[in-house]
Amino acid sequence: QYPLVGSKIDSAFHSDGFRLITVTDQLLYAVVEYSQNGQGYFARYGLSPADGSILWQNHEAVAGPIPNVEAHIVDGVIYTIEYSVKSVPPTLDSYGMTMTHLTEVRAVAYNLATGQQRWQAPSLIGEQPNGAFFSTVSKSILYFQTFHERAPLPSTTTLHALSLSDGTLRWQYEQKGGNMVGAALQGESIYVETSRLEHVGAEQDFRIHVVALNALTGEVRWSTLVKLLDGSERWPTREQQDHFGVVRVDMPPVVCAETVYYSTPGNRIYAIQSSDGKILAQFWVEKTAQTTVSSRVVLFVGP
């Protein structure tokens, strides 16, 4: 046990406490937010896996809490995505409501041994985590997703690709008026699921695509339309839409060898050829009379 800065916080300050973010055999990376004398702070800790001793620490004053953090440790560097909520002077938003806080997402890289900052990408103002705040790292690129409600324009989900060396933007892929959650990185391709309501003639239809992107350039390699159910169910229901009418489907594809697998609500499984997006097979897992629109098979792949 050891005392931590922020272990005793102002009673009025809301904090998730000390959080262990990611672990390797070299380092335990943890963060804590706290308040002293009315000022908010955000601290980062590099801890020894052997005995828990503090190898390094840093902290900075913040205007609001940082409620969400993800990190990856690769080749002696900690790559983090930090989501904060900042207090701003009261202003009116596009709905005529008073806004006193603004969301912000930032990507930062720290030296694993010393905690010294290597780079910080420009902050993304108004962005917030999408779903579980997906992020992943390849040999040269940090990928992460954000969501922005650009009312009265369609809300936008964005997949960002930053250079590991200096944090510069390599490319972005946007899904406007819909949603995109998670991704599967395999070789030089990254696979995502996109979903949105589209106008088909005079009707609106909910469309889900599994999309393959070139992981280095962001170019679309292929996009395959997948059906949600068998057409007999009512979809989407009000519970599956946000207040803008955007439908959220919350499961990324997974990849194994040369096949991409995707599970839709209702337990339908698609097997898609990774080279060209051709549907190889589709089947249901334990589909019964009790299967609901919300039923979902969770897919995993192993080595």
Per-residue pLDDT at 24: 95
* pTM over cut 0.85: no
pLDDT at residue 153, rounded to an integer:
61
- Statement: residue 140 has pLDDT above 60: yes
* Mean pLDDT within 239-258: 65
Share of the chain above pLDDT 90, in %: 42
pLDDT recorded at residue 9? 53
Task: Provide the residue count of the chain.
Answer: 303
Average pLDDT on 234-259 reads: 63
pLDDT number for residue 238: 47
pLDDT digits (tens, 9 = 90+) for 209-218: 999 999 999 9
**Mean pLDDT of all residues belonging to the chain:** 81
> From CA 229, how far away is CA 234, in angstroms rounded?
10
Identity (one letter) of the amino acid at 195? S
Query: How many Å apart are CA 81 and CA 129, to the nearest integer?
Result: 9
Residue pair 63/54 in contact by the 8 Å Cβ criterion: no
Concatenating the DSSP letter of every residue in 135-164 gives EEE-SSEEEEEEEE--TTSPPEEEEEEEET
- pLDDT in the model for residue 63: 76
List CB contacts of 251: < 8 A, sequence separation 6 or more: 181, 182, 193, 262, 263, 296, 298
> What radius of gyration do the chain's Cα atoms show?
21
| Residue 216 tokens, joined | 């280095």
pLDDT, average across residues 237-245: 49
CA distance 20 to 90: 34
What span, in angstroms and rounded, lies between the C-alpha atoms of 55 and 47? Answer: 5
Q: What is the DSSP letter of 218?
A: -
Q: Tens digit of pLDDT for each residue in 148-182?
A: 876 556 678 899 999 999 999 999 999 887 788 78
DSSP secondary structure of 61-127: EESS---EEEEEEETTEEEEEEEEEEEEEEEE-TTS-EEEEEEEEEEEEEETTT--EEEEPPPEET-
The pLDDT value recorded for residue 96 is: 67
- Collapsing DSSP states into helix, strand and coil, what is residue 240? helix
| CB neighbours of residue 264 within 10 Å | 22
Q: What is the mean pLDDT of residues 245-256?
A: 70
* DSSP assignments along 1-36, one per residue: ----TTSS--TT-----SEEEEE-SS-EEEEEEEEE
User: Which residues, other chains included, contact 106 with Cβ-Cβ below 8 Å and sequence gap of 6+?
Assistant: 81, 82, 84, 120, 121, 123, 124
- Residue in this structure with the two tokens 């280095």, named with its chain if needed: 216
Rounded distance between C-alpha atoms, residue 63 and residue 84, angstroms: 9
Mean pLDDT of 78-94: 79
- Quick one: which H or E segment has residue 280? strand 279-284
Residues with Cβ within 8 Å of 295's Cβ and at least 6 positions away in sequence, in order, are 265, 266, 267
The pLDDT score that the predictor gives to residue 244 is 47
Compute the average pLDDT of residues 278-298.
76
Bigger pLDDT: 113 or 291?
A: 113
Of 94-103, 170-179, 203-212, which range is least confident?
A: 94-103
**In the structure, what pLDDT confidence band is assigned to residue 145 with cuts at 50, 70 and 90?**
very high
Beta sheet of 268-273, edge-to-edge order: 254-256, 259-264, 268-273, 279-284
Cα separation of 135 and 80, whole Å?
9
Judged against a pLDDT cut of 60, whether residue 236 lies above it is answered with: no
User: At 284, is the pLDDT very low, low, confident or very high (cuts 50, 70, 90)?
Assistant: confident
Tokens 């393959």 locate to 212
| 130 — pLDDT class (breaks 50, 70, 90) | low
pLDDT digits (tens, 9 = 90+) for 3-31: 655 555 554 455 667 889 999 999 999 99
Q: Which residue has the higher pLDDT, 296 or 261?
A: 261
3-state DSSP call for residue 134?
A: coil
Report pLDDT digits (tens) over 40-71.
888 999 999 999 899 999 988 887 778 789 99
**What pLDDT does 234 receive?**
47
Confidence check: pLDDT of 201 > 60: yes
pLDDT at position 94, please? 61
